[in-house]
Amino acid sequence: MHKVPLFINGSNFSSQSDSRIAVHNPADNSVIAEVPNTTEAEIDLAVKAAADAFKTWRQVPVVERARVMMTYQALLKQHQDEIAELLSHDTGKVIADARGELWRGIEVVEQAINMPSLLMGETVENVARNIDTASYLQPLGVCVGITPFNFPAMIPLWMFPLAIAAGNTFILKPSEQDPLVPMRLAELFTEAGCPDGVLNVVHGGKEQVEQLLAHGDVRAVSFVGSVPVGQHVYRTATANMKRAQCLAGAKNHMVIMPDANKDQVINNLIGAGMGAAGQRCMAISVAIFVGEAEAWIDQLAEAISKIRPGLWNDTDAAFGPVISARAKARIVQLIAQGKKEGANCLLDGSMFTLPGHDNGHWVGPTLFRDVTPDMSIYREEIFGPVLCCLCVESLDEAIALINNNPFGNGTSIFTASGATARQFRFEAEVGQVGINVPIPVALPFFSFTGWKQSFYGDLHAYGKEGVRFYTQAKTVTTRWFADEANSGPNMTIRLQE
């Protein structure tokens, strides 16, 4: 049995905790590792290591910090096959999807290499006579990242490379359901030249998160996960005077106009709705067919019926299992509820099993039509390979559906009309919009800009907003006295001119 260690002060650290969590392979439910519930003393040790390292790391020139990132991204590319295979075993993802996830994380590391430019402040000469003003971006201190199970490589890489390149130190608390990839990321980061204590990894559940949220030496918390937990993390962190950036749930819609390319619509809906077994916060879970496009639903059903889940190394498999028995039970329950509430289930994957892997957490592709906004399968984030189809008569009706939804992570439209696309882009009250792009996750020189109940905080993840989240501005106003006559005291608030 592999007992997953902590990673504190530059090396693996064997936890003394008596409480451990089993890590399961989702494909067959076998136990592949045990992860400790980090003790209170060990959390304090990790925070102290990060706080001590911050004193020297913040003084390392930004170009040297950027060089660490350059080495790190090279190591990630060198080890990409190893990491992707580990990720597949940890999450059940098919290997192509695992590689794709890792590369989306590597792109953020590449953006962190640009930190010398990203940290440039502003200056104005002669704001008043012989007075100049400049602003600087300086690091906060110890930052914490709390990451979910569905992207154990990408989302940690959204967080700690930017934070550390900006001069902070970091404590990562990955999901207890798949901790092996985050541990490997930390080991490679040390190999890239990261000094001891700059990056630390602790494990556990709610108790460990609560301790980090309350710790007096933690300055900022970045979280990705469900709505209830995201709300709690945001409230708790801010109540403890910390910055918080919490990415939460989603219910993402794709609008299909009758003038769209039908084959492109069907192919993109399958990938965006079923990829990663639907376990993406940017997955398309609702398809809105406008007008005559409704006729395409039967062809969509036929195309989806031809895909199937499978093992990570099965090149014909479209996706793998869902993460846990609990996740599967919830998805199956919602499918049953959808049928009970009157939705027409064209494809039902709730009884799917993979021969030889009957204990795995398998859910087959599922498709509903005649869904209405009051149904549970529309209102709740299913987080499984389930696509709901609604039909409306106009673009205005489609936009109203999207804007009435409490979530605002992402949405997309497929159309051949520039005017239609512009109206949709302008009127959709959603943070990330795709035009003939199903999953509009921006590259990391932009930011991940979820709205409404999909995000709690003021500054979004990665991009320029991510850099600002991990830094604070210092404004310096300077005057050097020349041999000039003393004009006497200035008794007003204005600068002397």
Backbone torsions φ then ψ of 46, nearest 5 degrees: -65, -45
**Residue ranges in 92-197 assigned as alpha helix (H):** 95-112, 115-118, 154-165, 180-191
CA 455 from chain center: how many Å? Answer: 11
Tokens of 54: 């911050």
CA 354 from chain center: how many Å? Answer: 29
> Choosing from 143, 281, 388, 389, which is the catalytic residue?
281
Helix (H, G, I), strand (E, B) or coil at 351: coil
Angle between helices 180-191 and 62-78 (to 10 degrees): 130
Backbone torsions φ then ψ of 346, nearest 5 degrees: -75, -35
Cβ within 8 Å of residue 288, ≥6 positions away: 253, 254, 255, 256, 389, 390, 391, 392, 398, 401, 402
- In the residue annotation, 391 being an active-site residue is answered as no
The Cα 150–Cα 93 span in angstroms is: 9
Cβ within 8 Å of residue 446, ≥6 positions away: 463
Cβ–Cβ < 8 Å for 196, 13: no
The Cα 149–Cα 175 span in angstroms is: 5
Q: Is the dihedral of CA 419, 425, 429, 433 positive or negative?
A: positive
- CB atoms under 10 Å from CB of 6, counted, come to 27
List active site positions: 281
